[in-house]
Chain A
Amino acid sequence: MITAPATSTTESTVDSEVLVEVNDLKVHFPIKRGIILDRTIGYVYAVDGVDLTIRRGETYGLVGESGCGKSTLGRAMLKLVPLSDGHVVFDGTDLSTMKGEPLRRMRRRMQMVFQDPLSSLDPRQSVESLLVEGLRAHGLDRGREATGRRLRDLLSAVGLPSSALRKYPHEFSGGQRQRIGIARALAVEPDLVVADEPVSALDVSVQAQVINLLEDLQEEFGLTYLVIAHDLAVVRHIADRIGVMYLGGLVEEAASDDLYAAPLHPYTRALLSAVPVPDPVLEDRRERILLTGDLPSPAAPPPGCRFHTRCPWRQPTRCDTERPVLREVLPGHRAACHWAEDIRAGRIKPHEVRPELVEEEGVPTVDESLAGPTSVTEALGP
């Protein structure tokens, strides 16, 4: 058995090993309707009470299906969306109350790599100006010559020729654009890099190049990663520890190997069993846990355990009334399930689930892109 690294939840705030600590984080987006005055008619509970810590130098993987709030959580940790409640503590500094110039300066230390490398690069900027922008914003532009050298070093670190500087994003292939996006994030020498689906927009044969690059850069620059992805195989490959999200909450968290070897939460089990594996022998004899029905709307999450409407292990008591907390079931292995021990020991068997209708009507579908800034100062507040 692999010994899980010891977690000390009580003194984590003073632990110098911890780079990011998230406490009971909530991000609720108001749903607005109205012709003249916008009335708030409800909330999308995109992130609804998440606790997690990311240690210095590790790669934390966040997986979940679309609409589970993983991207919003990643953005909330960088304070790119307004936090409704809870705290994000970055290297001892609480970001939740921070704004304006101090927050802007703080951004140098935490950077982001986006899913779509083309849309995240301003089409009007040459690669040089894209890379210089971050340096300028943080006063790291020290003269023409030094900056020029820095840019060439950056490009060679991500495996691009220095002739790329004068070109524009649309002149590159997908994989190369993602390299530019990574170079831009690294330009300001951050501690933390949040990579939101860094390879899912790329061709299969190119994904490995970017994954390997991210690994190399982590080693070279001592980076801490938060990698957000829907592809469990990618996350398992790259991450040391993994958190599984379902409808705004973390349902399981464990070291990468533990999670895949012995998933505790029914949702994680279903998720793992659903991933197709390029091995026909394995595919033929694999037992699939097919979930029935669809993801409930994050604007109207089910009461109790959010997964109880689709859970094959659902029990008559507690599941639909009491929301399970994320608790340590095995050392270093946390799960948010009332019956985790019983399921693990095989005392509870899965049963058939009648699919419940999920009404799309009346509830706006949560589009991650629309879940951006909803007003005014938010958008421009750094």
Chain B
Amino acid sequence: MALLEVTDLTVVFQRRGEAPFTAVDGVSFAVEEGQTVGLVGESGCGKSVTSLAIMGLLPRRGVRVSGSVRFEGAELLTESPRQMRDRRGRDLGMVFQDPLSSLNPVVSIGIQVTEVLERHRGMSRSKAMRVAAELLDQVGIPDPRRRLDEYPHQLSGGMRQRALIAMALACQPRLLIADEPTTALDVTIQAQILALLSQLVRDTGTALIMITHDLGVVAGLCDEVNVLYAGRVVERAARHELFARPRHPYTHGLLSSIPRLDAPRGERLVPIRGAVTDNIPWTQGCAFAPRCPNVLEKCLDVTPEMEEDDGRLLRCHNPVRQEVPA
């Protein structure tokens, strides 16, 4: 049994006086113990909403969540808010994009870390302080004892993100969800945080869901990658398969539209036409059809299903055949 099994997860936002908006449209994936799974896509593809739905952090009003999210066999979607509160921090940890706004500005780092330890692991104050210092040390914050007394604004962006990771890991959760954890950081700091995450995953055996728009981040970190477009997974493959031979025109398009450090210079980029919002509804055909270079008549009328093909799952009527020049 997988550690986390997401089946047919659908999230519909219903706003007053407007048509309902389906942010996540039947997403299924599984995370095995100790595995790192990537959710990749652009703004509006539903990757962040998926993570919030798993964490039970979506507002109750105006949001309809259906499908199933099973954690060690237990259904999370039907659990009470109280049960979910107990799970968050203990079983499920989360790291957000903006480390400054995710920390309480008027409470010291020490209190924020020990809070988790006292609540979920029932530690005494002094024990929690000691463990908190160890945790900060573990995530590479120099002089951790002093940092415990400091406030978020006194730390740099990279250090704040480390502190957040320490908080997320405080109770040794089985699953860590990182939502664009390095997007707000500089590239040298990003490299530090990614190295830290992959080391932690190796050392503690925590499973990781990595949510990002940056294919480069995924390439070095994830065992399996899910590419999302307009609320659905369009391609899922092991990372070596995916990057060596992207089959979905969207994945392929993304890879050939970004400038790469490892490619010869002077080649013209091949952009994907249109904007992220130029979709047709999935119920009508393939949402990517209006932007797709491989579009067929069928794509406009028949919704493509997820099908096993070539050692991967693919949602496409006319996948890319040729190999990408490495």
Chain B: which residue is nearest A278 at the CB level? B215
Q: Which of B239, B269, B276 lies in contact with A173, CB distance below 8 A?
A: B276
- Give CA–CA (A230, B143) in the complex, Å: 30
Check A294–B189 contact: CB distance below 8 A.
Answer: yes
- Give CA–CA (A212, B275) in the complex, Å: 15
Check A276–B195 contact: CB distance below 8 A.
Answer: no
Tell me the minimal C-beta distance from B156 to chain A in angstroms.
4
Q: Which of A256, A278, A354 lies in contact with B265, CB distance below 8 A?
A: A256
Tell me the minimal C-beta distance from B188 to chain A in angstroms.
5
Question: A204-B213, A236-B261, A282-B262 given as contacts; is B154 within 8 A of A359 (CB)?
Answer: yes
Question: A280-B220, A294-B158 given as contacts; is B43 within 8 A of A203 (CB)?
Answer: yes
Check A271–B156 contact: CB distance below 8 A.
Answer: no
Chain B residues with CB under 8 Å of A205's CB are 42, 253-254, 257, 271-272, 276, 291
Check B265–A257 contact: CB distance below 8 A.
Answer: yes
Segment with Cβ contacts to B, from A30-38, A82-90, A127-135, A283-291: A283-291
Check B216–A276 contact: CB distance below 8 A.
Answer: yes
Q: Mark B79-107, 1 if CB is under 8 A from A, else 0.
A: 00000000000000000000000000000
- Give CA–CA (A69, B268) in the complex, Å: 30
Question: A175-B275, A203-B42 given as contacts; is B156 within 8 A of A283 (CB)?
Answer: no
- Give CA–CA (A354, B277) in the complex, Å: 47
Chain B residues with CB under 8 Å of A272's CB are 261
Check B240–A207 contact: CB distance below 8 A.
Answer: no
Q: Mark B204-215, 1 if CB is under 8 A from A, else 0.
A: 000000000111
A176 within 8 A of B: yes
B192 within 8 A of A: yes
Chain A residues with CB under 8 Å of B154's CB are 359-361
Chain A residues with CB under 8 Å of B189's CB are 65, 294
Check A357–B213 contact: CB distance below 8 A.
Answer: no
Chain A residues close to B by CB (< 8 Å): 65-66, 173-176, 203-209, 211-212, 215, 230-234, 236-238, 256-257, 260, 270-284, 286, 288, 290-295, 354-361
Chain B residues close to A by CB (< 8 Å): 42-43, 140, 142-143, 153-159, 186-192, 194-195, 213-220, 239-240, 243-244, 253-255, 257-262, 265, 268-273, 275-277, 291, 326
Offer 25 A-B interface pairs, CB within 8 angstroms, sorted by A.
A65-B187, A65-B188, A173-B277, A203-B43, A204-B42, A208-B259, A209-B273, A231-B187, A232-B261, A274-B190, A276-B214, A276-B216, A276-B217, A277-B219, A279-B262, A281-B240, A282-B262, A283-B220, A290-B191, A291-B188, A294-B189, A295-B156, A358-B156, A360-B153, A361-B154
